[in-house]
Structure 1
Amino acid sequence: MAQVSSSESSPSESSPPPEEEVEDVPFVEVFFPTEMRPLPGRLDTVPVFNSNSPEVVLEEGVLLSTFPPEDRSHPDAHLDYAFEGRFDIFTHHIARARTRSQTRTLFQGILLHNPSDRTVRVEVLHGASYLTRPDALFVELPDYVDDRLGTVYSGPGSRATNDVLRGKRQGNWPAVLELKPGDSRMLMNLPIPVGRVVPSSNGRSTLLRLLSDGPVYVACLAMFAPRNGSNERIPTLEEWQTLLDTTGLSGPRDLEPTPIDRIYDVDRMIYSRVAGVAVGSRWEAQLVDSGKLESDDSPQLTVPEPGRSFSYGLSTLHRGRLGTEQIQSARLVRRYPDTAYYAHGNYGIEYNLTLPLFNPSNNPRQVSLLFQTPIKQDLVNGGLTFLDPPENRVFFRGIVRVQYNDDEGTPQTRYVHLVQRRGQAGDPLVTLNIQPRNKRLVEVDFIYPPDSTPPQVLTVQTETR
């Protein structure tokens, strides 16, 4: 997400180039009455290695290290956190060249180390890593595209989260990595090439879900390709280990965050970018009526009266709670002092939401579910604000999975690639005709993709016949 924000975030460095200039279009603010509700449930406790600072990498060094600081030249670059059991790795970094002298290939390495006295097995459950070029160019797509085969994406974050949501493990990842006592091994050793035509840039997004049966330290590192004469080559394990032990943090450093105790006192808040260990890989919740518990035998979510709606905030954050008083940003248990205090944006975090929609009336009701990107606000007064037309800036690009029984009772699973711009109200993900005194179960799942800007909402709306 953007580093600087007032009422709205500015575009991310990781966003595609701005669209061509067009004539100024007047944006009309449209008020959408809706009842805002906090999202039930909470993030789980799975730790996430989250490396997104610096986003643009121009200097070699440590991007994020959870190794112990002892016996290393720059102890402040190491956060001393061992992962064990389920954990995730999310990284997103960009290489950039403004002159021919800067076109040397940047390599990104992820190093694992077993500090214990027994062999540790690390399973790669799901995972994907893509470059912007040539793997996943930012292409212009329609707002809604059905993606049954997983071939629709725009940008590396969109493609990586698409794969992982479908439970895929990209072919270049090992199923299991074994580390002997005291052993270190490269989990990833991949380039971010910028090409020879300047100015130029390229990015790589990576999302991995792992399971370790023992403690492991993790480091994400940046190194320019070593050379044999004039030819570039892949860095060796020994070269990565030396870089880890002898260099400090990579640069240039991103903007420092606004202190949490001052965020409501300043005109412009700096969220900064994330480099640390976040807590929470998945938000799972059953959306039910107030006073009901998710564990009730017959949970239900009563649909609104015709012409009315209610909405749940998604990826809400400081100064963007949309009136819910809820901050969903994952907390950080390890971070560098000049990086974000929370994992704002929840990049790589999966939302699993179940809606047991219930029509209590004696008449059929037509109910729609909408995924929307309202204007970011902290407080709202009875509704959300959208723009007509929406701005050109894309604030969400990624896959949403919707599972339900259609009006004929046939089970449906739809993968929809959404592109939403700032202030876009959106069209329904699904519309159901719910019969009197009947219940219809809908499941909505998505992984919050990089190159998006929170918050969004999930709206339940009963149409007026």
Structure 2
Amino acid sequence: LSMYAPRTNNGLERAPTLQEWLSLLVNGNLAGPRDIAPTDPEEFLKGNQGDRFFYGRVAGVAQGSQWTSRIADEPGGFELTIPEPGNAISYVIGTVDHNTFGTEQIQSAPMLVRYPDTAYRAHGNYGVRYQVFLPLYNNTDVSQQITLKLQTPLQDETLLSGLRFYRNPADRIFFRGTVRLRYNGGLGSERSRYIHIVQRQGQEGEPLLQLTLPPGTRRTVDVDFIYPPDATPPQVLTVTTLDNPAYIEANTADPDVAESENATIQMPATEITTVDIPAAEITTHNSGNEPDI
């Protein structure tokens, strides 16, 4: 906080008094112009939803500091059955009003205290710790290989059985942060890996991890990160069962690990690819509708 120094009768500058500082805080024109006032989510649902929705600036105290979830086949379950070879399942990360990839799950924390003309929710949950457990289960009688990706699909609330990506993502960074993966290695030892990810709008992403699951086995993967301020939500975590694991394993130096690489490529906006995911296999179970306090 700063102010122009008051002057004495002789024209000399003097230090402000405490009362002058308080008056500046209460009555001063400190910042402007103010941003567009946000849309009230509850009132928006009652009115014309064809109108534009304004998120607003986040300024206040949000509820909670951690989002913990276990992705399972059913609420309260302890197994996530891997999809059939060639298929995938995805779990949403950081969803906001009217941008949930068709799941209708809003993860933005409510604001406990806020300025009157600022956001009703902490859109993006910036600084919130995400810890997502994936208790993978291979229910087949043959070994399967799965990959895990962090992805930034294109916004689409109408597509209920898939995700849309650019073939060549534009140079607009939508996620820049570090993710920790913890899992059991092939010999049963616990492994931890830190991966710094730079991802662009509509980027499908490269595998962060590749695991082999023998028939009937279970392996839990723990995905842990703080949602970075240099990001635009939402993202998804995607588990894919490889359609031709023998080919992949023969061409991967470490069958348990595949590094993510990022490239900056310009693209026409019309080049879009769609990855189909059966609607029944989109899992959005979490430990609560709001981040834990």
Same fold (TM over 0.5): yes
The answer on whether the counterparts of 1:285 and 1:352 sit within 8 Å (CA) in structure 2 is yes
1:340-363: per-residue Cα shift (whole Å, max 9, x none)? 111111111111111111101110
The answer on whether the counterparts of 1:319 and 1:377 sit within 8 Å (CA) in structure 2 is no
1:212-235: per-residue Cα shift (whole Å, max 9, x none)? xxxxxxxxxxx24889xxxxxxx9
Q: Could you tell me which of 196, 207, 213 is aligned with 1:417? A: 196
1:325-350: per-residue Cα shift (whole Å, max 9, x none)? 11111111221221111111111111
Partner of 1:271: 55
Partner of 1:255: 36
1:239 & 1:313 partners in 2: Cα distance? 50
What secondary structure, in the 3-state scheme, does the structure 2 residue paired with 1:380 have? coil
1:363-406: per-residue Cα shift (whole Å, max 9, x none)? 00001111000001223231010001012111111111111122
Partner of 2:10: none
Q: 1:250 to 1:350 in 2, by over 3 A?
A: farther
Q: Could you tell me which of 105, 110, 116 is aligned with 1:326? A: 105
Residue 408 in structure 1 maps to residue 187 in structure 2: yes
1:122-141: per-residue Cα shift (whole Å, max 9, x none)? xxxxxxxxxxxxxxxxxxxx
Partner of 1:29: none
2:37 alignment partner AA: E
Q: 1:414 to 1:276 in 2, by over 3 A?
A: same
Q: 1:438 to 1:334 in 2, by over 3 A?
A: same
Partner of 1:313: 92
Deviation at 1:300, TM superposition (A): 1.4
2:35 alignment partner AA: D
2:121 & 2:189 partners in 1: Cα distance? 42
What secondary structure, in the 3-state scheme, does the structure 2 residue paired with 1:367 have? strand
1:244 & 1:334 partners in 2: Cα distance? 23
Partner of 2:205: 426
Q: 1:243 to 1:414 in 2, by over 3 A?
A: farther
Identical residues among aligned pairs (%): 46
1:423 & 1:344 partners in 2: Cα distance? 19
Runs (5+) with no aligned partner, structure 2? 6-14, 245-293
Aligned CA-pair RMSD: 2.5
1:240 & 1:425 partners in 2: Cα distance? 56
Deviation at 1:265, TM superposition (A): 2.0
Residue 460 in structure 1 maps to residue 226 in structure 2: no
1:443 alignment partner AA: D
TM-score relative to the length of structure 2: 0.72
1:277 alignment partner AA: V
Greater share of residues in strand: 1
Partner of 2:143: 364
TM-score relative to the length of structure 1: 0.46
Q: 1:401 to 1:266 in 2, by over 3 A?
A: same
What secondary structure, in the 3-state scheme, does the structure 2 residue paired with 1:262 have? helix
1:428 alignment partner AA: P
2:93 & 2:29 partners in 1: Cα distance? 33
1:396-428: per-residue Cα shift (whole Å, max 9, x none)? 111111111222333211111111111000011
Worse overlay, 402-411 or 315-324: 402-411
What secondary structure, in the 3-state scheme, does the structure 2 residue paired with 1:416 have? strand
Alignment of 1:217-296 (within 5 A): 223-224=1-2, 242=22, 246-247=26-27, 250-252=30-32, 253-260=34-41, 261-262=43-44, 265-291=49-75, 293=76
Residue 387 in structure 1 maps to residue 166 in structure 2: yes
Q: 1:337 to 1:245 in 2, by over 3 A?
A: closer
What secondary structure, in the 3-state scheme, does the structure 2 residue paired with 1:270 have? coil
Alignment of 1:136-147 (within 5 A): none
Runs (5+) with no aligned partner, structure 1? 1-222, 228-234
Partner of 1:132: none
The answer on whether the counterparts of 1:348 and 1:450 sit within 8 Å (CA) in structure 2 is yes
Partner of 1:375: 154
The answer on whether the counterparts of 2:184 and 2:220 sit within 8 Å (CA) in structure 1 is yes
Deviation at 1:241, TM superposition (A): 6.9
